[in-house]
Every structure is written in C-alpha cells, then in structure tokens.
Amino acid sequence: MSWSKLIWLFISFTIPAFIAGQNVTYKFIPPQYELEHLKLNNTEDPGRLYDITEDRQGFIWLTSNKGLQAFDGNHTISYRNDSKLYKLTSDSSVHSLYAFTKLPDGSLWIQEENSRMLHFDPVKRKLTESFTGDAINNELIYHIAGSNDGGLFVFTVNRAKRTIAIWKKSPTNKLLPVYQGYMNPNNYYTYRIAGDYHWIIEERGITQISLDGKEKKQYNIPTSPNYNIDSDDQGRFYFAGADQETIYTWNEEFKNMVVFLKIPAYLKGKGFDFLIKGNKIFFGGNLSLFIINREDKTIQDLSQQFIELAKKEAPNSLGVLFMNFFLRPDSSLLVCTQTDIYRLKKKTPLAAQYLQSVSPVKNITSILSFRALAEDGRKNIYASFYTGIAKQNKGESAFLPMDVEKYISGEYISTYSLSYWKGHLIWNNVSIDLSSGDHTFITGDKFAGHCTQWLQHDTLWLYQWNSSELNCYDLLRKKLVVYPIDRRISANNNSIGEMNDMIVDGSGQNLWISSSDNGMALISKKGKLIRQYSAGETGITENTVTDLELNQNLLWFGCRNGLGCLDIGTGKTIIYKDPYSINNSVLHDRTVFSILPDTTGNYYLGSSYGLLWFNVASKQFYHLPDNHPLAHVEFNRGAAFKSSDNRYYFGSTDGLYSFTSPELGFAVTSNPIKPVKLISISIFDNKVGAYQYLSDELDGLNNLMLEFYNNSLELSFSVPEFYKKVYYSYRVKGLSESWTEYKPENKISLYGLQPGRYQLEVKASTGLNDVNASYFSLPIVMKQVWYKRPWVILLFTSMAIVLMITYLRYRFNQKIKRQKKLADLRTKISSDLHDDVGSILSGLAMQSQMLAYTAKEDQKKSLLEISNMSRDAMEHMRDTVWAIDSRKDKYENLVDRMRDYAEKNLALRNIKHEFTITDVDTKKFIDPEKRQTIYLIFKEAITNIVKHSNCDDVIIEFADKKNCIQLLIRDNGIQKEIRNSDGLGMSNMKMRATKIGGFLTTKYENGFIVELTI
Amino acid sequence: MEKVKVSLIEDNKVIRENLAGFIGLHEEFESGVIHESAENFLNSFIPETSGQTHILLLDIGLPGISGLDAIPLILEKLPGINIIMLTTYEEEDVILKALCSGACSYISKKASLEEIIEALRIVAKGGSYMSPSIAREIVNHLMGGRVSKATILTDRQREILQKLVDGKSYPTIASELFISVETVRTHVKKLYKVLQVNNKTEAITQYMKGQIR
C-alpha cells in the first residue's frame, strides 16, 4: 500500500471518528411512532421465534423451535415435522429452525439445529432439498448466506482443526472450498455477505473476502460481540464497534470502513440490534426501543410502549425477548420478539391537531356547526356558524366569536353564506361594515334565513331560499334589482327551496345553480332558464346537487352518489363513486358536500363520511387512514374555504377543521387485495377411514379429482393482508349458485359431496362486500361409482337389451318350434291317417278294379265306379293333407299342384293345355287358406271343362299383377247351357273367392273364361 | 323276349294280391317274389329266385324296416335291380330320399292298375318319371337351386331338368328338344343315378369313370 493511501486512510478514518467522538447532543422528542401488535392467531403454539422474512407472495415466514410458521396477517399455520397436514420434512422429530437466507429466486435456506440446511420453496410450500454438515467432513455449520447471483455459501467452524472456512454449494450439493482461515477458539464469529464480499466478523476485527475467495483484507476494528450486524438492500454493511458506541459501515466509494453513527451516550448498552433506514436508526433490546434520527439529531423513546405492549401479550414473562427488526418490502417496519410481532407505524394524529379552537359562545354549550368562511384584506379569517360568526385574527390560532346579535333580527337564525367585499362582510342578506360595525340589509329589512351568494367583482348575486327571486345587488351603488327565477326550474312550478350553490359560468354572463330538489341548471343573470340537467339525464339520486366547481369546460359537482362531472360541451355526465362501509357492514354511497381545489389542481372533498382527496387526472379517490380524526367527519354544505396562506378550512357539524397539505397523508383506496392462495386440502377417505392431506404445490392445481369415496373435504385459503381483516365467501357451482356470507373463517368444509362436476369459487375481501375482492376458482370432479359411470350403464343397458332380445328371440323361436311341431304333428296325423285310409282305399280301388276284369258286364260298371270312387276319396284326402301341410306354403307348391291336376285330368280327354306363369314369385309364401281356395277353384274349373266342355285346348294363365293375383282359365269350347250343377259349382267358386277377398267372373268370349282376381 | 320279373313288397294284403294278380295278367311281366315286409324279403332272399327280379315294387310305409331304409339293403343284394317306390301320396322329400337312396322311379297307389303297368313298362325300357316338384327338389338338393350349377350333368340333362322344373310335360320337352319321349325318360333315369351319389366330388368321380353317362 502506498504512503498516500495510508495517509488518506488515516484521515478518512480518524477525522470522522474525532467528529463523532464529540458529544453530539441529541434531543428527545415525543414518539411520532406507535407500535401495533400483529396477532399471529396461531392454532398451535409457534414456539420461540428466531428469524423472520417475507416471500414474494407477501406471506411472512418465521422460524422457531417448533418449526416454520407462515403468517398472512390474519392466521398463522405451522409447518412442522410432526404435523400431518403441514409436514415440513419426512423426519418425525421436531428440530429448531434458526436463520433464513433468502436467495434472489425467492427460495429460502433455513438453518436447522443439527447443522442441517433446509431448502424451502415458500410459494410451493415444499421442502426441495437438504444437506447436513456431514457432507463436509464434520465441519460445524455456523452461518449461511446468499450472494446476489443466487449462490449459497456456508461458513463453517472446525474446532478440532481450529479452522474456519467458507464453502460454496454446487448444484450437485457438493460444498466447494472458497476460503480457509485460522480460528481463534476464544472468539465468536459472525458471517455475512454484503455487496460482493464475504464478511467474517470476530471480536478482534473484520475480514473482507472477495466472493471467489481470492482477495482478502483485514480491518482491525474490534466489534461488539453483543451487537447484531446489519446490511441493507443497497448492499451496505453495518456493524457496531466493541465500544458499543459506534456503528461503522463499509464505504464502497472509499473502499474503507467509516463511522456511520456515534450512538448517543444515553443509549449505550440499552440495545443490541439495530436497523438502518435512511437517516433513521432503529435501535432495540429486550427492554428498549429507540428511533435515532441522524439528520435532526432526535431520539424517540418507545421503550415504555414496547414493554407495556409486550407484557400485555405475555404477562408472565420476565422481560421482552427481543429478536430483531424486519423491514418489509412495502417499507413498513416490524419489531419482532421471540413470541410476538409488532408493526411500527406513524402515530395517529389527534383531532385537536386539526380542530380549530373556538372560544365559547354566549348561551351555546353544544358543539358549533360551521358553514361558510371568508377572509378579509388583512388575512383575518371569518367562519360562520348557525347563530353567529367567529373571527381568527391573523397569526392567532383561536377563533373568537363576533358580536353579531344586532344583525340578527326576525325569526330566522341560520347561516349559509359569507363573503368579504372591500371592508364589508356579507353574511346571508346582511352587509356588515367591519370598521364601523354598521350594517345594511341587502334584501328586505331583517336578517333572512338561508341565502346563497355569488360575488362577482362589485356585484352580489343573492338567492333567498324559497323566494323564487334572484337578487342582483350593486355593492357600490347599493342598488338592488330583483328578477323572478324561472319557475320551470323546479317541479310543479314551485320556487326553488334549497339552492346549495351559485357560480358564474365560463362566459361570465350566466349563472350555474344547484339545489337539493332540482338538480342543476344554467340560468341567465335575469333568472331565465337556459338549460336544466335532470336526475334522469345525469344519473344522480334524488335530484340533489350540492357544491359546484367550474374547471374550463367541465362542471364538477357534489351529489348523493359522489362526485359528478358534466362535460358542458357534450352534455355527458360521469359520476365517480366512493362508497364506504362502517365496521365492514353494507356499503353506503358517500355524499360529496363541498369541493375545494388545492394548489395542484386536484380537489379536497368534504363528504358525509370524511375528508377525501380526488386526483382529477387519474379520477381516483384518496383516503385518510381509518383511525385519522378527519376520516369519518360529516362535513357541511358550502363550508369549504382556502385561505391566502394555503390553509384549508372545512366546516362540519362537529366544529371547524383546518390543515395544510403536508399535514395529511392520503393514500389511494386500498388496492385489490392479493390473490387468494389455496394452502391445504384435507380429503377424507371413506374406504380406509382416514384423512389424506395435500399442502404443497397447490398453486399449480388445475382441478381436484376425487374418487366417489372421497366425498368429504376441507380446503384452507390464505391472503397476505397485514392492515385489515380478511373475509371470505364462497360458492360451489353445481350445488348452488348463491354465495355464502362474508366471514373471517378461511376454511371451507364440504361434506357428502355427490359424484359430479363442480366449480368451487372463493372470494376474499377486506370488507363485507365485493369491492376490490380477490377471486379464486377450482374445478372439482368427483368420479362416479363404477357401476354408475356412463359407459358402465351403457354396457349394462346394452347387455340387458341383448339379453332381452335373446330371450325374446328364444321365446319366439320356441313358439315357432311349437307351432311347427304342432303343424308337423297335424301334418303327420293327417298324413298317417291318409296313409292308413289311403292304403285301404287303394286296396279297395285295386280290388274292385280286379273284380271288374272278371265280373259280368252288368257288374263291371258298378265295380269300376267303386274303384273310381275310392280313388276320388284318396284324391280328396290328398287335397286335405296338402292343404294343411305347412311345407307346401309357397306359390311354387300351388303351381305344381295346379299343373299336376291339369295335366292328369285334361290328358284324360286329350285336351291340350298351356300353363303360363307371369311375374309370380314362386318362392313367395302364400296364405294357406288362399292357397287351398285358389286350388279348389282351379280344380272345379278344370273338372267342369273335363266334364262339360267340348273344347280341345285350354289356356291357363297365373299372373301377379302388382296389386292383385289373377288366375285365368280359358277354353275354346262352344257355349252350352249352364246346368244346375254347373251353376251350383260356379256359385261355390264365387263364394270361395269372396271368402278370401277376391272375386270370380265368368263369361263366354270365343270360349268359356273363368277369371279369378284376388 | 325275356319276361320282366316284378317283385312286390307291400304290407296291405288286398293291394298286394291284386297288384300281383294284375301284373301276372300281362304276358310281358312275370310275378316275382311277394312279401309283406322288407325283412321277409331280405331274410328269404334266394339268389336264384329273388335275384332274378328286374323290377321291385316297394311300398314306403312298411312294418319294421321302412321302404326307404330297405333300399340300400336291397341294392346291396341286388345291385342292378330297378326299384319303383309305391307312395300313398307323393311326398317330395320322401321320394327324393328314395331316389337318392337308389330308387329309379315312383308311382302313386292312387294310380290305376293300368297306370302302374305303364310305369313298369317305362322303367323296363330304361326310363323314368319325374314330376316338376321332384325336379325342383333335385335342383335344390343337388345344384344349390340353379340348374346352371349342375356341372356334373350333361348339357342335355341340364336342359331336360330345367324344362321339368319349368313344368313342361314330357311330350313338350321331347318336342322342343327334337327327341323322343322315351329318350326324355331315359335321361330322367340317368338323372336319378346322379342323385344316388352322396356328394359332388363323388359324382364327378363317378362321371369321370364313366359310371354316369
């Protein structure tokens, strides 16, 4: 190192130290902060807390001797080895967890008491890996730290070898040596990574080592073993000196240690932990809590508050066991003890800070309700109240009541408007000369009731409520002109009752007026209506418009729904609403009573429920903290005023409030709360009678598939919200479309769920309403019992149908078989009978024929007749058997029989014949009765030809003519007389034909024709 | 000219006596053995007497072994015999079975004695009779319902068979084919021979061997 550098080091170190060594005087100021206890609301004992951090989703994590706690601001759950639902590791024994090391990817390394390191993913809520000190040859793991590039470093101590070492964890869980040094067994060691360096802090000094371990620098600045080390998010590194009086920091610019703060002597030994936030140092210990402001040299002592709060939460403890400070990403500061967490927040101002002091008014003991204000040329402020005016002289704080009794006469004692004009105070309708005290009634001769004023230069426009008269008063000439107000403005042509405001329009020629019952209108200065804007047109409720504020082409107005804006050019109106709820009950519309522009062009709004600030550009409402004294005040109409020194006054029913802009800390309306997170599912398995638990990687759950025996489940949700209570509501689509009421309960239990598809929807809100609510949705599918599944039902149904069909077919076939059997039996019986009888008849025929050969001539004929009769009988029997034989039920069988008969019988008389078949499907079935009837008709016809005709040729045609069957028998014989027997035969044939639905015709046409049509 | 010996198996005594008597009245025929059952015929078979029968009139309905069942037994003893089935009424499937078993013709008992004698003459001359319904049964049984499929038949046989199926009379068929009625009857008898083979393959084999001409 060069001499110049050495000198520079000496100077840069000693001079600040010298300066710091001077007894800088810090003064104590009343605490501007207060502690708020954040209840952990844990169902299980979280144990003794050791460290705290926050994940990317906004959940706070705490290590303890009982495991890992997840705190969302309303509930705490414990991830422990002995937990079934939130199991941390596969071990059954519980080990203490110590320090967190948070990596850039958001994952956490946690030091466990048995030198094991756990890698935990707080988003997935899952342990991803772990390793122990055994991996590095019995080195004792002291500390772990993460670098900005995501590297994990482990600091170890080996007392046997008297070495300390820094290791870097490789992706394969190997620990690679980075640095090794000598260990003094009597020293304590602390290790940090800050910026791009390893820092090993021991009592005798600090060692700074580059991340790769190649460069090392020693600083012989003894540190305090009792003080914590801090490093901020800028990578700056702080540590306390052994004198417990100095806090040092590493200055990257000078590449040196410099003094950051000389701790006030009063605080020496009173704390052991600190957190640096800008110029503020938060300094704490078991019984102390201080805020040191380096800039204004102040100290705030919150120790008493700290002790009282801590004792209240742990009354039996011997003291407050301070753990550390934690700065959240939203810049709020948490003070952590070993049992509790407190939030440090700015103190709520008292109402007295804003409430104007008003000296007592004669005969009035109640709180004054203030209306209009004015300021005179000497910057005195005048504030009107119902029975008088109070005056605040310039430079004074209190308002003193003026003597105005002499002005008040008549029956009306009220106030609404107040203006200042050239040494005069104009109150309602009376003009008061402030120097002489004389007064003039502008209208009438006595003090009027509510009046609305508009002062334009030296002209006062005045409307007395319910008067229907617009008064134009020349203040210089003291001349009054009265114009009747257009009666069309108010409904039913009545006078305007409550005119809330009156201002000149952009041209200066007309007046905008607003009223409680008639909305707003543009009138001429002579009272004529130019344009009216009704409730239906503007969308306002009850047609009530309060205050008016003209901004170029936009007319802003107050109404019961909120803040309205009329675009004068287009005539379109937009209402900006800002509903509120009291104690998180139902929402109410917030009425805006007064609009007061600030110095930035935005508006302060006096409303029915608190003071608001409205950003005209973003159209957003900003609110005061819920416990701010101005957050819930009901302000009056026409009671907003800005003084020349930029102080804002708002009159209310509870007094007069004033403030300057820096005194109020508005915040935009609560952002939508963070997303709802599903943190656990407990599913009851009816088959085994036990629960199945799911508590990790639930963010990635797209749907929940359940078996039919998992019909009871419980789901837990969490939303990180540390300022307000969170309420949950849900519905299960498929069971009901209705949402449940909002409740703080974050568990949903579903019992006896039936198979089917459902959609679980959950919403969370900080109010009992859907304003800024956060939504969650999860499809749930419960599989049907196997025997109720569609494909199984289909299969069973199909099988049942098949079985039914098979059974019916079997029955049918059995029936057919029976019928066939019966038919066969019938046929067999008849044919057996025919056989037996036929044999007898055949024998008889042969016998008689044989006898005829040897008989005498006179006996031959009789014997031959017997033979023929026997054969005829056989033929008849054969016809009968044929008729009932079901095997002969086709057209071809009928045709064969007819052919056979024709051939045999016509041949006996040598009659030629021709038998033709046309379009008859011979394979087609024919009804047995029809078959028999057609054959008998045919047989009769042929028999007639054989017996009676003199023909020698017969044509037989059997045709299927689409819609009928036709049988035509035509001979070429000469017509003979029809004998009785012929006639009888014909009538039989006709009767047979009719019986089967046909008809028979006979005619003579070059031969005898018999035609059967069916 | 040698007389045609006709034997008779008929259980009805009246038919048996009259038929046998009537046959005996015709010089061209000679009565052979007459029995009332197939068993008697077979049991009393004497080649010298029973074996000389040219035509056997066989009743279908017999006591004991039926006429149908007796056909192969008889043909075994008398392979060259012509068996004419005596039917009470013409049951096509029974007749077809008889023809397939080896009978060469059939006649109804209802027929007159003269018609029976005429049938004997036709068979003695080498012919046979076939009704349209029997022809259809043959076509269905042997040829799958179509005459054109009857590849084991000659063209002429197929022609005659088709005309028989169409219901044409023998004289009509003879006229249309320019052959005699006896030739038609002869062809019919050959058709019956084809029936006596159990399957087509055997029929083809028989055909190729020249046993079916």
The residue type of A280 is K
CB A635 within 8 A of CB A622: no
Q: Which two tokens stand for residue A223?
A: 């540190």
Q: Kindly list the strands in the beta sheet with A554-559, ordered across the sheet, starting from the edge strand earlier in the chain.
A: A545-551, A554-559, A562-567, A573-577
Alpha carbon distance A154, A137 (integer Å): 13
Mean pLDDT of A951-968: 90
Is it the case that residue A905 has pLDDT exceeding 60?
Answer: yes
Instruction: Look at residue A850 in the predicted model and tell me its pLDDT.
Output: 87
Instruction: Look at residue A768 in the predicted model and tell me its pLDDT.
Output: 73
Which H, E and C letters describe A735-794, residue by residue?
CCCCCCCCECCCEEEECCCCCEEEEEEEEEECCCCCCCCEEEEEEEEECCCHHHCHHHHH
* DSSP label at residue A584: T
What pTM did the predictor assign? Answer: 0.57
Instruction: Look at residue B9 in the predicted model and tell me its pLDDT.
Output: 94
Is it the case that residue A11 has pLDDT exceeding 60?
Answer: no
Is it the case that residue A981 has pLDDT exceeding 60?
Answer: no
CB A156 within 8 A of CB A143: no
Give DSSP secondary structure letters for A415-479: ---EEEETTEEEETTEEEETTT--EEESSSSS--SSEEEEEETTEEEEEETT--EEEEEETTTTE
CA distance readout (Å), A181 to A160, A184, A200, A561: 13, 10, 10, 72
Q: Does residue A980 or residue A489 have the better pLDDT? A: A489
Q: For residue A732, report the phi and psi dihedrals to the nearest 5 degrees.
A: -120, 100
- Domain final residue, candidates A330, A347, A364: A347
Fold designation for B4-124: Rossmann fold (3.40.50)
Q: Is A843 on the interface with B (CB under 8 A)?
A: yes
Which residue do the tokens 């410099």 mark? A258
Is it the case that residue B150 has pLDDT exceeding 70?
Answer: no
CB spacing of B167 vs A896 below 8 angstroms: yes
CB spacing of B133 vs A846 below 8 angstroms: no
- Taking only the tens place, the pLDDT of each residue in A323-334 is 888 988 888 889
Q: Kindly list the strands in the beta sheet with A655-659, ordered across the sheet, starting from the edge strand earlier in the chain.
A: A635-642, A648-652, A655-659
Q: Is A839 on the interface with B (CB under 8 A)?
A: yes
- Taking only the tens place, the pLDDT of each residue in A424-444 is 999 999 999 999 989 999 998
SS3 A796: helix
Residues of A (909-928) whose Cβ lies below 8 Å from B: 915
Q: What average pLDDT does the structure give for chain B?
A: 80
Confidence of residue B200 (pLDDT cuts 50, 70, 90): very low
Q: From chain B, which residues contact A within 8 Å (Cβ)?
A: 12-15, 18-19, 21-22, 25, 61, 88-89, 91, 93, 109-110, 112-113, 131-133, 136, 167, 169
- Domain final residue, candidates A765, A788, A811: A788
* Total of domains in chain A: 3
Instruction: Look at residue B153 in the predicted model and tell me its pLDDT.
Output: 76
Is it the case that residue A78 has pLDDT exceeding 80?
Answer: yes
The pLDDT > 70 percentage for chain B reads 82
Is it the case that residue A615 has pLDDT exceeding 80?
Answer: yes
Any idea what the CATH number is for the domain that residue A929 is in?
A: 3.30.565.10
Alpha carbon distance A434, A439 (integer Å): 9
Give the least confident one: A253-262, A1004-1013, B89-98, B184-193: B89-98
Mean pLDDT of A163-180: 87
In chain B, residues under CATH classification 1.10.10.10 are 132-208
Alpha carbon distance A573, B165 (integer Å): 103
Confidence of residue B199 (pLDDT cuts 50, 70, 90): very low
Q: Does residue A148 or residue A712 have the better pLDDT? A: A712
SS3 of chain B: helix, strand, coil, percent, to 5: 55, 15, 35
- Taking only the tens place, the pLDDT of each residue in A645-686 is 999 999 998 899 999 998 887 775 555 689 999 999 999 988
The residue type of A589 is D
Mean pLDDT of A206-233: 79
Instruction: Look at residue A227 in the predicted model and tell me its pLDDT.
Output: 65
CB spacing of B167 vs A899 below 8 angstroms: yes
Q: Is A845 on the interface with B (CB under 8 A)?
A: yes
CA end-to-end distance (rounded Å), chain B: 26
Q: Does residue B212 or residue B37 have the better pLDDT? A: B37
Write out chain A residues lying below 8 Å of B109, CB-based.
838-839, 842, 874
Is it the case that residue A125 has pLDDT exceeding 90?
Answer: yes
Mean pLDDT of A770-793: 86
Structural domain contains residue A939:
yes
Q: Compare all CA atoms of chain A with the CA of B87 and give the residue at the minimum distance.
A: A835
Helix (H) / strand (E) containing A866: helix A857-884
Q: Among A323, A348, A345, which Cα is nearest to A332's?
A: A345
From the CA of B146, how many Å to the nearest CA of chain A?
13
Mean pLDDT of A552-578: 94
- Taking only the tens place, the pLDDT of each residue in B44-90 is 877 776 567 889 999 998 888 889 889 989 988 888 889 999 887 66
Mean pLDDT of A154-159: 84
Is it the case that residue B174 has pLDDT exceeding 70?
Answer: yes
Is it the case that residue B144 has pLDDT exceeding 90?
Answer: no
Is it the case that residue A134 has pLDDT exceeding 80?
Answer: no
Contacts of A185 (CB under 8 A, 6+ apart): A159, A162
Instruction: Look at residue A209 in the predicted model and tell me its pLDDT.
Output: 92
Instruction: Look at residue A414 in the predicted model and tell me its pLDDT.
Output: 79
The residue type of A78 is S
Is it the case that residue A20 has pLDDT exceeding 90?
Answer: no
Q: Among A826, A831, A868, which Cα is nearest to A846's?
A: A868
Q: What average pLDDT does the structure give for chain A?
A: 86
Instruction: Look at residue B90 in the predicted model and tell me its pLDDT.
Output: 67
Instruction: Look at residue A121 in the predicted model and tell me its pLDDT.
Output: 95
Instruction: Look at residue A645 in the predicted model and tell me its pLDDT.
Output: 94
Is it the case that residue A257 has pLDDT exceeding 70?
Answer: yes
Which of A846, A870, A877 is most worth mutating to test chain B (most B CB atoms within 10 A of its CB)? A846
CA distance readout (Å), A214 to A177, A180, A198, A966, B93: 11, 11, 11, 122, 116
The angle formed by the CA atoms of residues A417, A420 and A426, to the nearest 5 degrees, is 50
- Taking only the tens place, the pLDDT of each residue in A523-563 is 999 999 999 998 888 888 888 999 999 999 999 999 999 99
Instruction: Look at residue A585 in the predicted model and tell me its pLDDT.
Output: 62
Structural domain contains residue A239:
yes
Confidence of residue A565 (pLDDT cuts 50, 70, 90): very high
Length of chain B equals 213
Q: Does residue B100 or residue A10 have the better pLDDT? A: B100
The CATH code belonging to domain B132-208 is 1.10.10.10
Give the least confident one: A687-696, A771-780, A885-894, B55-64: A885-894
Q: Is A892 on the interface with B (CB under 8 A)?
A: yes
Residue-number span of the structural domain to which A970 is assigned: 890-1014
CB spacing of A840 vs B12 below 8 angstroms: yes
- Taking only the tens place, the pLDDT of each residue in A329-353 is 888 889 888 888 999 888 878 888 8
Is it the case that residue B92 has pLDDT exceeding 80?
Answer: no
Any idea what the CATH number is for the domain that residue A735 is in?
A: 2.60.40.10
Please tell me whether residues A1011 and A895 are part of one structural domain: yes
Q: Given the DSSP bridges, would you call strands A953-960 and A912-918 parallel, antiparallel or unpaired?
A: parallel
In chain B, residues under CATH classification 3.40.50.2300 are 4-124
CB A846 within 8 A of CB B18: yes
Structural domain contains residue A876:
no
Write out chain A residues lying below 8 Å of B88, CB-based.
834-835, 838-839, 842, 874
Instruction: Look at residue A234 in the predicted model and tell me its pLDDT.
Output: 65
The pLDDT > 70 percentage for chain A reads 92
What sign does the dihedral B4-B9-B10-B16 (CA atoms) show? Answer: positive
Burial of B57 (0-12, 13-18, 19+ CB in 10 A): buried
Helix (H) / strand (E) containing A936: helix A928-948
* DSSP label at residue A800: H
Structural domain contains residue A1004:
yes
Is it the case that residue A868 has pLDDT exceeding 90?
Answer: no
Which residue do the tokens 């809330």 mark? A500
Q: Is A709 on the interface with B (CB under 8 A)?
A: no
